[in-house]
């Protein structure tokens, strides 16, 4: 009888050892997917961080290059339901120098020279609406500024008007696009940046140089 008890006990011990080994073996394949998933997530995050830097003052959008951004808009002034739209924007061409003043005067004889030490620029812009509400238009309202290479904002106390083909104040729906011109003055020969304001606290910085 004692031998039977010993035999049964031995069999139970062997069975428990085999079950334990099986559990240890089955856990290993579940670890690899978790590691790979976390690695992929980090690489995507790093990619997004790199893209987010474009359009900053330290990394302005090069002339002719598109940048994608999001903006919120509303169905009406009384509406509190924000609609998010996706857009892309670029400066396709920049005109500057003495010939610009001549061009401005030909379009409006009352346009004056830029303040001393400054020169006029004509900025050609394009915008496309990629996503948004199919029934609510997005109004393009260009709030812009100029930042000199010194880091100072160049106050635009004088304005030059254009004879048509001006940028902004149009409605867009997804799939729509718009292009036009804006004027500003910058310090002569300075690598100033053109800032396109989005909302109240975000601006996209563009280079005005080739």
User: Which element (helix H / strand E) includes 106?
Assistant: helix 98-107
Domain count, the chain: 2
CA distances from 38 to 41, 43, 46, 49, 51 (A): 5, 9, 12, 16, 20
- 46 shares its domain with 122: no
- 26 shares its domain with 79: no
- 132 shares its domain with 175: yes
Position 22 confidence tier, pLDDT thresholds 50, 70, 90: very low
| Average per-residue pLDDT for the chain | 82
Instruction: In whole angstroms, give the CA distance from residue 94 to residue 208.
Output: 6
Position 86 confidence tier, pLDDT thresholds 50, 70, 90: very high
pLDDT at 80: 86
- 11 shares its domain with 71: no
- 18 shares its domain with 99: no
The b/e string for 110-145 (b: 16+ C-beta within 10 A; e otherwise) is: ebeebeeebbbbbbbbbbbbeebeeebebebeeebb
Instruction: Using a cut of 0.95, tell me whether the model's pTM lies above it.
Output: no
Question: How many Cβ atoms sit within 10 Å of the Cβ of residue 160?
Answer: 24
Which tokens sit at 116? 């001393």
- 99 shares its domain with 123: yes
Position 52 confidence tier, pLDDT thresholds 50, 70, 90: low
- 87 shares its domain with 169: yes
- 92 shares its domain with 156: yes
- 91 shares its domain with 184: yes
- 80 shares its domain with 112: yes
CA distances from 102 to 40, 191, 192 (A): 56, 22, 22
- 14 shares its domain with 77: no
Which domain does 14 fall in, by range?
A: 1-53
- 83 shares its domain with 167: yes
Which tokens sit at 5? 């008890």
For residue 97, the domain's CATH number is: 2.60.40.1240
The 10s digit of each residue's pLDDT in 117-173 is: 999 999 999 999 999 999 999 999 999 999 999 999 999 999 999 999 999 999 999
């Amino acid at each position: 009888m004692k031998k039977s008890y010993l035999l049964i006990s031995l069999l139970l011990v062997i069975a428990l050892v085999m079950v334990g080994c099986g559990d240890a073996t089955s856990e290993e394949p579940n670890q690899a997917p978790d590691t790979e998933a976390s690695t992929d997530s980090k690489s995507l995050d790093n990619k997004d961080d790199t893209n987010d830097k474009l359009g900053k003052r330290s990394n302005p959008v090069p002339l002719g290059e598109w940048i994608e951004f999001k903006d919120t808009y509303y169905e009406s002034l009384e509406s509190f339901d924000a609609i998010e739209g996706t857009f892309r924007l670029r400066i396709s061409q920049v005109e500057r120098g003495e010939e610009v003043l001549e061009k401005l005067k030909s379009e409006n004889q009352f346009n004056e020279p830029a303040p001393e030490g400054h020169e006029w620029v004509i900025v050609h812009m394009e915008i496309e609406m990629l996503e948004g509400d199919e029934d609510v238009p997005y109004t393009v309202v260009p709030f812009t500024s100029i930042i000199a290479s010194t880091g100072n904002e160049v106050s635009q106390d004088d304005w030059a008007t254009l004879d048509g083909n001006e940028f902004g104040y149009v409605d867009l729906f997804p799939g729509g696009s718009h292009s036009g011109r804006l004027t500003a003055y910058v310090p002569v020969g300075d690598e100033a940046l053109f800032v396109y304001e989005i909302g109240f606290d975000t601006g996209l910085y563009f280079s005005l140089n080739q």
